[in-house]
Amino acid sequence: MTKAAEFREMSDEQLVLTLNETTKNLFHLRLQAQTERLDAPSELRKQRRLIARIRTIQNERAAAKDSVAEKAANSIVDK
């Protein structure tokens, strides 16, 4: 299963926790990179991409909620 599919199965709360954890991890990796003690520079890219995936899924969910709310509002106005 891909990472995006795994993230889509998570609840909103789990996504927020994962995003916070990944952001903290990226911060620590950046500190290590600045002090020249970073073992795997590719980890920076991986963490940034994870953050992007999580935010994309959050945005998709927010857009879906807005769409449902807009349809509901339009159906009320039409009646």
- Sequence-distant (6+) residues with CB within 8 A of 18 are 7, 10, 54
CATH topology (fold) of 3-78: Helix Hairpins (1.10.287)
Q: 22-57: per-residue pLDDT in tens?
A: 999 999 999 999 998 888 889 999 999 999 999 999
Burial of 44 (0-12, 13-18, 19+ CB in 10 A): middle
Domain ranges of the chain: 3-78
What is the C-alpha separation between 18 and 12, in angstroms, rounded?
A: 10
Whether the CB-CB separation of 44 and 33 falls below 8 Å is answered with: yes
What pTM, to 2 d.p., does this model score? 0.80
- The pLDDT of residue 73 is 72
